[in-house]
Amino acid sequence: MNNASALLQVQGLTFSHPGRPVFLDWSACVGAGATLVCGGESSGKTTLLRLLAAELPPNAGSLRLGQVVLADAPQAYRRQVFWADPRSPAMDALIVRAWLQGLPAQYSEWNAPALATHLDGFDLHPHLDKGFYMLSTGTRRKVLMAAALASGAPLTLIDEPVAGLDRASIRYLCQALADTAQAPDRALVVAHYEALDGVPWRAVIELPELD
């Protein structure tokens, strides 16, 4: 991909967990549309999303999103990213409806009609007044993905999207990803062990399994 057409540019990314290297001088360009990050259980998919979200600091390397370099303007970079870790307990005490109502203030391109569509498509209305701690694994993921797709964020990161989802929800998810991937100014980066049917993947990033 031509660097000029990339929304996200990663150069020389290096990161290690204590005593365990994950990325060494890793570079990539991510354009608009849907990009699949695939690999086995220990390949670093979630770690990569956390690095791209600026949730984890790299040991070395640079990230540029649009015209914003993370090291130069970390807050401006993070304002362009949607990332919500489905495994994190940080939101457990929050009420789903209240959390969703607070998101438009964080994302300048928030799409309220899109959120309404995704709430319907994922059948989430019965869960809006529950705390996140009350949600099943699949329902929690559906709430986070509805918000991600509605956020309008230039870089939207989604981790293991089908965990706990029923077949109807997976079908809706694939259609929603395909529709959102048509936006010319959004990069959807989805981490999963294989491609999802019906999603027009612009690129596939394969991560080798770590030793």
Dump pLDDT digits (tens) for 6-55: 999 999 999 998 888 899 999 999 999 999 999 877 789 999 999 999 99
Give the domain extent around 167. 3-206
pLDDT for 161 beyond 70:
yes
Q: Tell me, yes or no, whether 211 lies in a domain.
A: no
* Domain presence at residue 124: yes
Helices marked H in 32-72:
45-52
CATH code for the domain in which residue 196 is found: 3.40.50.300
Residue 211 has pLDDT above 60, yes or no: no
Asked whether residue 67 is domain-assigned, the answer is yes
Q: Residue 187 falls within a domain, yes or no? A: yes
pLDDT in tens, 175-207: 999 999 999 999 999 999 889 999 999 999 998
Q: Tell me, yes or no, whether 11 lies in a domain.
A: yes
How many domains does the structure of the chain reveal?
A: 1
Is 146 a domain residue?
A: yes
154 located within any domain: yes
Q: Could you tell me which residues are beta bridge partners of residue 190?
A: 36, 158
Q: How confident is the model at residue 133 (pLDDT cuts 50, 70, 90)?
A: very high
107 near 115, Cβ under 8 Å? no
Q: What's residue 40's pLDDT?
A: 77
Q: Calculate ∠ Cα 194-195-200, nearest 5°.
A: 165
Q: What is the pTM of this model?
A: 0.94
